[in-house]
Structure 1
Amino acid sequence: MKEYIIHNEWKIIEEGFRPENNRISESIFSIGNGKMGQRANFEEKYSGDSLQGAYIAGIYYPDKTRVGWWKNGYPEYFAKIINSTNWIGINVLVNGQELDLGKAKIHSFRRELDMQHGLLSRSFEAELPNGNRVKVTSQRFVSIDDTEIGAIRYSVKALNFSGVITFSPYLNGDVMNEDSNYDEKFWVEVEREISKNEGYLTLETLKTKFQVTTGMYFQSFRNGTPAQEEIVNASHEKYVGATQKIEVAEGDEATIEKLAATVSSLNYKNTDLLQKAKAAVARAQKAGFDKLFEKHKTKWLQIWETSDIKIEDDTAAQQGIRYNIFQLNQTYTGEDERLNIGPKGFTGEKYGGVTYWDTEAYCLPFFLGTSSIEVSRHLLMYRHKHLQKAIENAEKLGFNCNAALYPMVTINGEECHNEWEITFEEIHRNGAIAYAIFNYINYTGDKEYLAPYGFEVLLAISRFWSQRVNWSEEKQKFVMLGVTGPNEYENNVNNNFHTNYMAVWTLKYTLEVIDYLKKDFPFLFDELLKKWKFNELSETTRWRKIIENMYFPFDAKRQLFLQQDGFTDKELIPVSKLSKKHRPINQKWSWDHILRSCYIKQADTLQSIFWFEDDFSMDQLKRHFDFYEPLTVHESSLSPCVHSILAAKIGYEKKSYEMYLRTARLDLDDYNNDTDDGLHITSMGGTWMSFVMGFGGMRVKNNRLTFNPFLPEKWGSWSFRIKFRGVHLEVTMQQKQFTIVNHSDQTASVEVWNQAETVKGNSKKEFKK
């Protein structure tokens, strides 16, 4: 755990340069706009340790799988959102000496991310080996208003010398992914051009044949006046650049403004890319840095209007939640249903930037509560569009009759994960996708999504569960063999509670949906019967048998559902008894040691209890939490939020706060020693849930919002905004008082501490506990 980020309510601040933390900071200070993102690499050259990264949504490469032992059903590739053209680069010379913080003496350094306005700033004073001392300031953003544009303003002030400051802005497409399986570069050049202060570079991916054109325009200034010095161009394979030498006297400041545009064949024809890039550069040039930023800032302020969470008297907690909200909105805007949310977003290369079950389980609730209904619907449609691929994926594993197994990892619907214990066995992801359909409809009331989109997905998943179970003569129950639950520190187990529970729940829910369609859409349902060759009687009869006879491992002595068969055969030593030198165990222990231990990577059985809390009594909730929480190491970023919510439900307020702070500051404080390879974007959705569902106690029941809020001990108050079925509410918790302000014209039906009320449009109501 590293705590070098300065606490501030609206800003992420790093004071002083620590090379050993540079990769962590490059992740933490990343910026994006839903269409592209950029790690916080330096504009000038840096010879120290760095992960250069610029990423474009939807542009990927199928990197050939590298495994020692090929198994039937393995995917042939791992899809990766790939590192793309470096558009931020500006090499700087000071009297012929290269500015490089890896070689200079640094007198001061500050990096700052303004979350309220979406601006990354940096300033430092450095002394070069030739004795020249400079003060550098830079500002950078990728526009969330015009999502094809990025902008940089970079200034160098001569503190103790006169001479020449040389700027060399460039576009460099000769990049590669650090995680390339065969040390392969994924781009080839299509065309390039450079003329004075404007240049363009078009590249194409191998295999997938995506094309991306990146353009740049720059202008240099001396003390605010445009520089007139000659511009010299440079061009070679995958590279265009320019050089301008600016004469300065001591105290003068040389500034360069670099505007860049990125367009891709995902949105335009290949033949139109250069023209579209030039049009985007022209838009940026006409507006200029300041006007571009004003529009960008205005858009961010609008986003915060509906998604901000406020905390009084706890700056660390306040900074944490805003940072999570900021990164979620940078990663996904919901405007394009072809796109989804990668676990690292646009901040690093681990996990390939592709889609996991994280989206449905942890991100969907955030977008349901803070964005328009279309945004969440697009997340669901992403899976519906991939239904045929999911069916093909199941067929490769031996399933039939249009059963679907959604991939563990994907970008285009095909499975691209190749660890057998996850690819073939972590099948609970199917349940998460089914649950997301229920969650969306329960929240929005948009039941028509079921006709036919939701039903088609549910039918295919139910067919999978029906075939995946088998009958145990010994137990006289249906069992699920050879699975891996959410807790990946247990592989190839039998009867994982969460997996079995999700299977049964999915079958029940699909039966409910069938009844709804038969009643409200009888003609459509008849068409769906024919389309999917659905033998309703025989298939649903088997489903009901599975529902009634599913086996769940149970410890009668402890009155606990076990995570899987044989879990209590392990030596049950609480995490609190582990020496710190053994943590995190995934970096200190062998895999054999981990698998034989009782330690849980993330909420597993508790995941089911969280989603289906009404199926369990309060005593059961408490008993299961008390058993599993002490055994959980939370080495998955997806774990603390579930524990925080359940702790709040049970009344363990201090534990709820502890787990909230862990998830909220997971990356800012590098809890799991892995922020250097990118942020944990999808767990940030869990952070939002831990606040709204934990401290706010918010649920949707009987078509209305219910709240059972509490105020953590050290806080003066908290508040958050929530959208629900056309209503926009602002809720505030103070000591013993809960207030709802309705910012919409529509009346809201709510329940607070089991007290049902209505809040009229544009009015306020207070509740006392």
Structure 2
Amino acid sequence: MKLQKDLAHDPLDSRRYPIDPWKFSEYGYPDSESATLFSLSNGTIGVRGEANGPRNLGSGTFLSGFHETFSIRHAEEAYGFARVGQVIQGVPDTVDFKFSIDGKELADPVEISQSVDFKAGTSTRSYTYEIGDGASLDVDIVTMVCLFRADLMATVTTLRAHGRTLKVHVEGKMNTDHPIVSRDVDPRKADMIADGGLRKLEVDAISRGVADESFGAFHCLHSELTMAVGFCQQLDGQMIHEVFDVEVPDGGEKRVERFTSYNSYPINPIGIDRGLQVAIDGERNSSSLINKCSQTLNWAVNLGYESIAEQQRQWLSDFWDKTDVLIDDGGDGRLQQVMHWELFQLAQATATVTNGVSAKGLSGTGYSGHYFWDTETFIVPFLIYTNPERARDILSYRYRMLPAARKRARMMSVDGALFPWRTINGEEASAFFEAGTAQYHIDSDIAYAVYQYVSLTGDHEFMATQGIDILVETARMWASIGYIGRDGTFHINTVTGPDEYTAMVDDNYYTNVMAQFNLRKAADALEQLNNEDREAAVSRLELKLDEPAHWREAADRMKLPYDEKLNIHLQDDDIMRREPWDFEHDTERPLLLHYHPLVIYRRRVLKQVDTVLALYMLSSSFDLDSKRRDFDFYDPLTTGDSSLSAASQCIIAAEVGHGELAMKYFLESLYADVANLHSNTTDGIHLASAGGVWMSVVAGFGGLRDSGGDEISMNPRLPEQWRSLTYQILVRGSRLKVTVSHDGVDIQRLSGGPVTLIVDGESREI
């Protein structure tokens, strides 16, 4: 990738972005990407930070799973195309305030800054206004989205007067401004719906327990999803309205505490009956949602802000105690600061999640808020090793998608279940099949995560009740989509692998080898169930006795393309017949914004690693020399136009001994958002890239491998310039602290029973 900044040195201006290991701050007027960098979330509510434009329903606050739908218009229609699109829908925003003095709204502040505190779980926006006659007003707005309670956020606004007493008029109304509808050729941005969006509902009498609240109920015009919001605020211990006047004494301050509660109905993935998702009576249900908001506000007011803030700190203290990654690089602390920023994104995006995790979390509208394969591939592994309960929640959401996935499979003339490439509600939302729905590998990515989760946690109850259904239905899909050819091997044709610059190919290596894993593990998992659970699964899934044997035969005969002369695994059957990309002259990046897809597809060029990713995912299936040959062949062909690529490149580069290259890719992954390397941070955090940062450190430099949960090994490759690396993992209920230095690996068991690991090639009981 053509980088905009030199990552060998700090890409951030330390005056604008000072170094602090537990805080990320920005001084000066914000850039377009600032709202993303200072966003807060808990996996249910997401609130963006200050930007250089107005806040509205497209740039303020979002709820997990809350989306609008629209009819997809294809230039040319065909059977099986996705018909209904989905796009994340912004909801009323309650962190926007306007200030007036003497009837005049305050002009632009003379000073502005914002920060996010990784220990407090808060963001702070600070402004200084010059009033005239030597007077000034300082405003601090502290926002907290509760990590321990899904439906609550709090805002504390502090006003400080200097030079004289100031009478300040404050307006803190719900912001329901609609965004300007526009189109963009960048497919990474959100779809915009001209005739959709929120409509306010008229609600009758509501049971309220807090005085002077502001409530609203809204529904999406097309999806008919309903949500409610309520807030209350107090000054000097007294409840006040959303618009008020306050006298701030010279040299003194006034503090306004506001609590906001959001509620919407859980999103049930759409199956045969679309009515599963739509409220029967929107008016009645909106009243119920508002009552829930009121109950939450009562709880918050009675507990008080300070107690809530302390619970937030305790939640994060526990997170950092168990999940922190410490890097001693002998530097100024910038690396550690951004590492903490990345981990904080993973913490807050998954804290209370019950739906899927979108590519941007709840930090923006990029990719329309859709969930992809990258959740299971780059985020779930982090959760399996640090917070397995959350990993289970995410996989359970995929389980709840099975009815829709089965329906999609039937439409696509395959057996079992075919999970959507892009979705929020369980239905396929991708209108671009070449580099979208042709990526059938999502089935095996989800199956891999299921097997990895159960193997590393021992959660056999999940396997018996949910996981086995996913494994069986995805195995059925692979068994039916492929065929045994005249050469005696099992072929899977006309698919797209993770590399979206190589589309619609036969026998994509990643797809086939992951399908092979899926087929074998489905058969293994059935055998490993106890008799009662196996009989229940066989009955529930209407399993034929000969199906597992057919899966094993398909896996054993799987075509895995290989070049005997170059001794490399071929990304697909035709890669060597494609014309090489002219990297010397065709240098515009990303390619997808400068070249027609057909121009890209006919060339030998990669958007992101494909075969190389398989080397990591199924590490134990490859020897070191094979990994080195594959990496050396594919790495020069990879543009890195995808933010997902750098992490996998880092991991394998470190393993095969390319230390400098591994560090280069680690820094690209680490700084992807905070340095805006892909020029689209404004659309939201690259959340899977944050998971990739953790993988780069723990799996790349820390050398952790599990090959889908079969065997845990460590073969660290600490960068020469680093002094040490320390991280923690949870394996089958045992918490381990791993410290890697140039003297070796020290592993301490902090809790749980003994576990066996392969460390530097030798079995070690910890």
Q: Does 1:598 align with 2:611?
A: no
User: Is the CA contact (8 Å cut-off) linking 1:602 and 1:635 kept in structure 2?
Assistant: yes
Question: Cα gap change, 1:134/1:593 in structure 2, threshold over 3 Å: closer, same or farther?
Answer: farther
Looking at structure 1, the residues matched to 308 and 24 of structure 2 have their Cα atoms a distance apart, in angstroms, of: 22
Aligned residue in 1 for 2:323: 307
Q: CA deviation at 1:647?
A: 1.5
Helix, strand or coil for the counterpart of 2:503?
coil
Aligned CA distance change for structure 1 residues 210 and 643 (closer, same or farther; 3 Å): same
Equivalent position SS for 2:419 = coil
Match of 2:200 in 1: 189
Distance 1:399 1:322, change over 3 A: same
Match of 2:524 among 500, 508, 512: 512
Residue of structure 1 aligned with 2:477, choices 464, 484, 507? 464
- Choose 115-124 or 242-251, whichever is displaced more: 242-251
CA contact (8 A) 2:56 2:179 kept: no
Unaligned runs of 5+ in 2: 6-10, 182-189, 268-283
Match of 2:421 among 405, 408, 417: 408
The answer for the alignment partner of 2:259 in structure 1 is 259
Closer, same or farther: CA 131–350 of 1 in aligned 2, 3 Å: farther
CA contact (8 A) 1:484 1:496 kept: yes
In the other structure, the counterpart of 1:380 is 395
Deviations 1:525-545 (A, max 9, x none): 3454444343333x4554444
The partner residue of 1:398 within 407, 410, 413 is 413
- Structure 1 stretch displaced more, 650-659 or 343-352: 650-659
Counterpart-to-counterpart distance in 2, 1:36 and 1:319: 25
The residue type equivalent to 1:636 in the other structure is S
Q: Distance in 2 between matches of 1:412 and 1:361?
A: 20
Q: For the structure 1 residues 258 and 745, does the alpha-carbon distance in structure 2 shift closer, same or farther, using more than 3 Å as the test?
A: same
3-state secondary structure, aligned to 1:170: coil
* Equivalent position of 1:642 in the other structure: 648
The root-mean-square deviation of aligned C-alpha atoms, in Å, is 3.0
Q: 1:746 to 1:132 in 2, by over 3 A?
A: same
Q: Give 1:673's match in structure 2, choosing from 675, 679, 694.
A: 679
Out of 226, 246, 250, the position equivalent to 1:211 is 226
Residues 391 and 453 of structure 2 are in contact (CA less than 8 Å); yes or no, is this contact kept in structure 1? yes
* Preserved contact between residue 217 and residue 227 of structure 2 (Cα < 8 Å): yes
Deviation at 1:161, TM superposition (A): 5.9
Partner of 1:764: none
How much identity, in percent, do the aligned residues show?
26
Counterpart of 2:270 in structure 1 is: none
Aligned-pair CA distance for 1:342:
0.7
**Alpha-carbon separation, structure 2, partners of 1:506 and 1:745:** 30
Kept after mapping to 1: 8 A contact 2:57/2:90: no
- CA–CA separation in structure 1 for the residues paired with 2:93 and 2:449: 37
Q: 1:648 to 1:578 in 2, by over 3 A?
A: farther
Partner of 1:570: 578
Structure 1: which amino acid aligns with 2:258? K
Query: Which residue of the partner structure matches residue 729 of structure 2?
Result: 722
2:726 maps to 1:688 = no
Moved more, 696-705 or 355-364: 696-705
1:158–1:253 CA contact under 8 A, matched in 2: yes
Letter in 1 for 2:409: A
Alignment of 1:547 with 2:562, yes or no, is no
Indicate conservation of the 8 Å contact 1:97/1:128, yes or no: no
Equivalent residue in structure 1 for 2:454, among 441, 450, 454: 441
Contact 1:497-1:562 at 8 Å conserved across structures: yes
Q: Partners of 2:394 and 2:55 in 1: how far apart?
A: 39
* Corresponding residue of 1:317: 335
Structure 1 residues 162 and 381 mapped into 2: Cα distance closer, same or farther (>3 Å)? closer
Out of 496, 510, 513, the position equivalent to 1:498 is 510
1:370 pairs with 2:395:
no
Per the alignment, do residues 176 and 65 of structure 1 end up closer, same or farther by CA in structure 2, a change over 3 Å counting? farther
Correspondence for 2:277: none
Cα deviation digits, residues 85-138 of structure 1 (max 9, x gap):
1121222113323235xxx2x543321111122111122334479997433222
Which AA in structure 2 matches 1:41? Answer: E
State how many pairs are aligned.
Answer: 723
1:293–1:645: structure 2 CA closer, same or farther, 3 Å change rule? same
Partner of 1:451: 464
Q: 1:97 to 1:714 in 2, by over 3 A?
A: farther
Match of 1:236 in 2: none
C-alpha distance in 1 between matches for 2:327 and 2:395: 32
Q: Kindly provide the CA deviation profile for residues 593-615 of structure 1, in whole angstroms up to 9, marking residues without a partner as x.
A: 43343321111111222111222
Q: Does 1:31 align with 2:40?
A: yes
Residues 408 and 422, structure 1, Cα contact 8 Å, conserved in 2: no
Contact 1:10 1:319 in 2 (8 A): yes
1:137 aligns with 2:143: no
Pick from 143, 150, 154 the counterpart of residue 147 of structure 1: 150
Q: Which amino acid aligns with 1:357?
A: W
SS in 2 for 1:398: coil
Match of 1:479 among 491, 494, 501: 491
Q: Cα–Cα, structure 1 residues 745 and 555, in superposed 2: closer, same or farther, change >3 Å?
A: closer
Give per-residue Cα distances to partners, 1:685-741, cap 9 Å, x unaligned. 222111111111123489774322232222222211111112112111223132223
The partner residue of 1:72 within 69, 75, 79 is 79
Give the Cα–Cα distance (whole angstroms) in 1 for the partners of residues 324 and 358 of structure 2. 23
User: Is 1:293 paired with 2:309?
Assistant: yes
Aligned partner of residue 171 in structure 1, secondary structure? coil
Structure 1, 464-473 or 628-637: larger mean CA deviation = 464-473
Contact kept? 1:66, 1:181, Cα under 8 Å? no
Q: Residue 55 of structure 1 aligns to a residue in which SS?
A: strand
Q: Which residue of 2 aligns with 1:82?
A: 89
Spell out, residue by residue over 1:418-461, the C-alpha distance to the aligned partner (whole angstroms, 9 max, x if none): 11214431111111112112211221233454335333222221
Partner Cα distance (2:151, 2:404) in 1: 31
CA contact (8 A) 2:605 2:638 kept: yes
Residue 363 of structure 2 aligns to a residue whose secondary structure is coil
1:95 alignment counterpart? 102
Report how far residue 278 of structure 1 moved.
1.7
Show structure 1 runs of 5+ residues with no match: 234-241, 760-769
Q: CA deviation at 1:216?
A: 1.4
Answer whether contact 1:692 1:698 (CA < 8 A) is retained. Answer: yes
Describe the shift of the 1:706–1:559 C-alpha distance in structure 2 as closer, same or farther (beyond 3 A). closer
Residue 525, structure 1, aligned to residue 534, structure 2: yes
Moved more, 246-255 or 671-680: 246-255
Q: Deviation string for 1:594-645 (max 9, x for gaps)? A: 3343321111111222111222221110000001111111121211111111
Amino acid paired to 2:570: L
Moved more, 192-201 or 117-126: 192-201
Between 1:302-311 and 1:379-388, the stretch displaced more is 379-388
8 Å contact from structure 1 (residues 720, 731) kept in 2? yes
- 1:200-241 deviations in whole A, cap 9, x for unaligned? 112223344333221112234xxxx6799xx7x6xxxxxxxx
Q: Structure 1 residues 196, 185: closer, same or farther in 2, change over 3 A?
A: farther
- Of 148-157 and 24-33, deviating more is 148-157
Letter in 2 for 1:360: E
In 1, Cα distance between equivalents of 2:425 and 2:180: 20
The CA distance in 1 between the partners of 2:131 and 2:167, in whole Å, is 14
Determine the structure 1 residue equivalent to 2:637.
Answer: 631
Query: Structure 1 185/255 Cα, relative in aligned 2: closer, same or farther at 3 Å?
Result: farther
Per the alignment, do residues 533 and 47 of structure 1 end up closer, same or farther by CA in structure 2, a change over 3 Å counting?
closer
Measured in 1, the distance between the counterparts of 2:514 and 2:592 equals 27
Which TM-score applies when normalising by structure 2?
0.87
- Which residue in the other structure is 1:431 paired with? 444
Is contact 2:57-2:179 (8 Å) kept?
A: no
